[in-house]
């Protein structure tokens, strides 16, 4: 018994060391991303203005997309598909990314991604060691939530990169908040490792909490791109109406994808996790039914999950409702994410309910 306790304590210490190491590597990655942005600023990219002044909004044609050319026996080239932007959308090309086409910037960007991968692995190790030390899933208190949450958020980002999605521009914003999240975790929220109270012993814990953390990470990615969409959209609006944005705004926003792409990306991200978020709430209800004798009781945490859910449903409806697309829908998405954040931090800290256990 004491031997096991000692190993557990050892593991907990290893976990702490790994988390601090991950923070160090994330910090290096952070600087590398900064370098990518700095070097990228040397190149002068002004596609947006060029695209916007070349013709009236929406009347231009996107480059033709080459159709599937597999099956090498075709005698002639296969037909190509011409794609158009739909009406009411500005047809602006995506920016080149943070490196701005600058080779050195790109190099730093690659270094940053490699460091992010390394930090991700170290942090995963830290989370795993924590889980082993407490002999359960590492989701018993807010410290553990935080370290798992940032690991998953970075994991989602790396997964999108691995799928060859154009998301490297997210890197700096993501790593900044990951560092904040971890800083908060190790300073304010740290809780010595321990086992769970019996109310938390349930396989629904694994299901409900893991999906909740995953959804949060994805919603977070969606929220970041929504904010960037809002900036980029007003930038494009300004250009389209003949305004002159500041040099800093130009330098940063020129390198991001077009507002239409950002908008689409955040919609996809949010829409893709919404069914999983629905599932998370239902799994929570089932667990509550087993643990507390009622599956829905308007406990503050339940209430805020519901509010978050309704807010995201409102966002999806807004996208399908004429007159609410674009910026208005984006504000709704941010509001919905705000609800999620409040549910995560606010409810644990300010409101007492059945969900507050294991010391914050």
Restricting to residues 255-274, name those near other proteins by CB under 8 A: 264, 271-272, 274
Estimate to the nearest angstrom the gap between the alpha carbon of 73 and the chain centroid.
Answer: 43
Least separation, in Å, of the C-beta of 247 and other proteins?
29
Least separation, in Å, of the C-beta of 138 and other proteins?
16
* Three-class DSSP category at 61: strand
Contact between 38 and ligand HEM per CB under 6 A: no
Contact between 143 and other proteins per CB under 8 A: no
State the DSSP string of 92-128.
-PPP--TTTT-HHHHHHHHHHHHHHHHHHHHHHHHHH
Contact between 307 and ligand HEM per CB under 6 A: no
For residues 330 and 220, what is the distance between their CA atoms, to the nearest angstrom?
13
For residues 82 and 138, what is the distance between their CA atoms, to the nearest angstrom?
50
Task: Give the residue, chosen from 93, 101, 297, 338, that forms a contact with other proteins under the rule CB under 8 A.
Answer: 297
Contact between 355 and other proteins per CB under 8 A: no
Restricting to residues 176-235, name those near other proteins by CB under 8 A: 192, 194-195, 197-199, 201-202, 204
Task: Give the residue, chosen from 129, 154, 311, 333, that forms a contact with other proteins under the rule CB under 8 A.
Answer: 311
Least separation, in Å, of the C-beta of 153 and other proteins?
22
User: Between 105 and 326, whose beta carbon lies closer to other proteins?
Assistant: 326
Contact between 289 and other proteins per CB under 8 A: yes
Phi, psi of 65 (to 5 degrees): -100, 135
CB atoms within 10 A of CB 165: 13
CA distances from 297 to 219, 239, 321, 354 (A): 25, 51, 32, 10
Binding-site size for other proteins (CB under 8 A) equals: 85
Restricting to residues 308-327, name those near ligand HEM by CB under 6 A: 313, 316-317, 320
Q: What is the 3-state secondary structure (H, E, C) of 290-355?
A: HHCCCCCCCCHHHHHHHHHHHHHHHHHHHHHCCCCCCHHHHHHHHHHHHHHHHHHHHHHHHCCCCC
Restricting to residues 39-98, name those near other proteins by CB under 8 A: 54-56, 58-61, 64-71, 74-89
Interaction site with ligand HEM (CB under 6 A)? 313, 316-317, 320
């Amino acid at each position: 018994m004491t031997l096991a306790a000692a190993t557990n304590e050892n593991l907990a210490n290893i976990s702490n060391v790994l988390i601090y190491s991950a923070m160090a590597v994330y910090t290096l990655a952070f600087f590398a991303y900064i370098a990518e942005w700095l070097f990228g600023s040397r190149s002068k990219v002004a596609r947006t203005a060029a695209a916007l002044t070349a013709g009236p909004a929406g009347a231009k044609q996107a480059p033709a997309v080459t159709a599937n050319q597999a099956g090498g026996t075709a005698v002639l080239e296969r037909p190509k598909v011409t794609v158009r932007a739909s009406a009411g959308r500005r047809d602006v090309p995506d920016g080149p990314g943070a490196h701005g086409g600058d080779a050195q910037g790109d190099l730093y960007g690659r270094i940053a991604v490699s460091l992010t991968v390394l930090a991700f692995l170290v942090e995963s190790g830290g989370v795993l060691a924590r889980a082993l030390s407490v002999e359960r899933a590492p989701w018993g208190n807010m410290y553990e939530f935080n370290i798992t949450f940032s690991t998953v958020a970075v994991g989602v980002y790396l997964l999108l990169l691995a799928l060859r999605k154009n998301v490297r521009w997210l890197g700096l914003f993501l790593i900044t908040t990951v560092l904040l999240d971890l800083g908060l975790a190790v300073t304010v929220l740290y809780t010595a490792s321990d086992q769970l109270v019996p109310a938390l012993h349930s396989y629904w814990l694994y299901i409900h909490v893991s999906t909740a953390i995953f959804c949060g990470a994805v919603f977070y990615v969606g929220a970041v791109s929504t904010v960037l969409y809002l900036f980029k959209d007003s930038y494009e609006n300004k250009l389209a109406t003949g305004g002159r944005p500041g040099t800093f705004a130009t330098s940063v926003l020129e390198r991001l994808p077009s507002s239409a792409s950002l908008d689409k990306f955040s919609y996809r991200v949010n829409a893709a996790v919404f069914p999983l978020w629905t599932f998370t709430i239902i799994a929570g209800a089932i667990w509550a039914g087993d643990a507390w004798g009622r599956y829905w009781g308007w406990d503050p945490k339940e209430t805020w999950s519901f509010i978050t859910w309704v807010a995201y449903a409102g966002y999806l409806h807004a996208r399908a409702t004429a007159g609410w697309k674009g910026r208005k829908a984006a504000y709704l998405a941010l509001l919905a994410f705000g609800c999620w954040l409040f549910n995560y931090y606010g409810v644990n800290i300010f409101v007492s309910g059945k969900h507050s256990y294991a010391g914050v």
